[in-house]
Amino acid sequence: MLYIAYYFFQFIIINPGLTFSNSQQQDYNNYATPGYHVHDFTVGHLNKDNHKDVILVLKKDNEKSRQYSHRVVKILIGSGQNQFFVVAQNKNLVVPHDAINRSFSEYGGIEITEKGVFSIYHTGGVSDLWELGTTFKYSEKLKGWFFYSETLSKNTEINTKIETKTRTVFAKQLPKLASFEKYTILH
């Protein structure tokens, strides 16, 4: 029961405003790669202008539970006329159920936290519950999104007490800058 409550809580925290109409989802399906459909999306400001931008998470049309196939993440930049242009995509950032470490892992959500910054979450665990948040930040100089940080939070139940440990790795600690397009979650 604790696990069910935890995942429900995580879903609500990660996706506090996650509601969208079928017409919105259908509109964004026009930007889906053939053979894929919109699994999730979020709207915000990704390139620091004042036009609405969108991040799509696409799922294969025939993806079955526990089938290992990567999902596509696309960044759509708005023109201000309710038109969007695909400017970046990644096929190695969001993985389906159980693909990270085979311990009940799955996509947990996507969030634009501030102008030019977004995070993608995975959650999972069997005896230890964890959440992995991977954050990207827009570079005006390089005109693209680059890895900014990765945070792993782990909750362990020891004698009915939940202990939380968090570890964050920042881009400046890595030997080279990783672009959104080339980043892989299974590094």
For residue 96, give the amino acid letter.
Answer: P
Q: For 4, which DSSP code? A: H
What confidence tens digit (pLDDT) does each residue in 153-186 have? Answer: 887 776 666 666 767 777 676 656 788 998 887 6
Q: Quick check: 149 and 166 in contact, CB under 8 A?
A: no
Burial (0-12, 13-18, 19+ Cβ within 10 Å), 33: middle
Q: How is the chain split into domains, by residue range?
A: 2-173
Helix (H, G, I), strand (E, B) or coil at 187: coil
For residue 21, give the amino acid letter.
Answer: S
18 CB-near residues (< 8 Å, 6+ apart): 11, 40, 109
Rounded CA-CA distance 174/178 in Å is 9
Q: What angle do CA 72, 47, 36 make, to 5 degrees?
A: 15
Helix (H, G, I), strand (E, B) or coil at 61: coil
Which position has the higher pLDDT, 52 or 23? 52
Rounded CA-CA distance 56/45 in Å is 14
Burial (0-12, 13-18, 19+ Cβ within 10 Å), 87: middle
Rounded CA-CA distance 161/3 in Å is 14
Nearest to 116 by CA among 88, 87, 136: 136
What confidence tens digit (pLDDT) does each residue in 21-32 have? Answer: 445 555 899 999
What confidence tens digit (pLDDT) does each residue in 59-112 have? Answer: 888 876 555 667 899 999 998 887 899 999 999 888 765 454 555 567 889 999
For residue 121, give the amino acid letter.
Answer: Y
pLDDT of residue 140: 87
What average pLDDT is seen over the chain?
A: 76
In this prediction the pTM is: 0.77
Q: What percent of the chain has pLDDT over 70?
A: 67
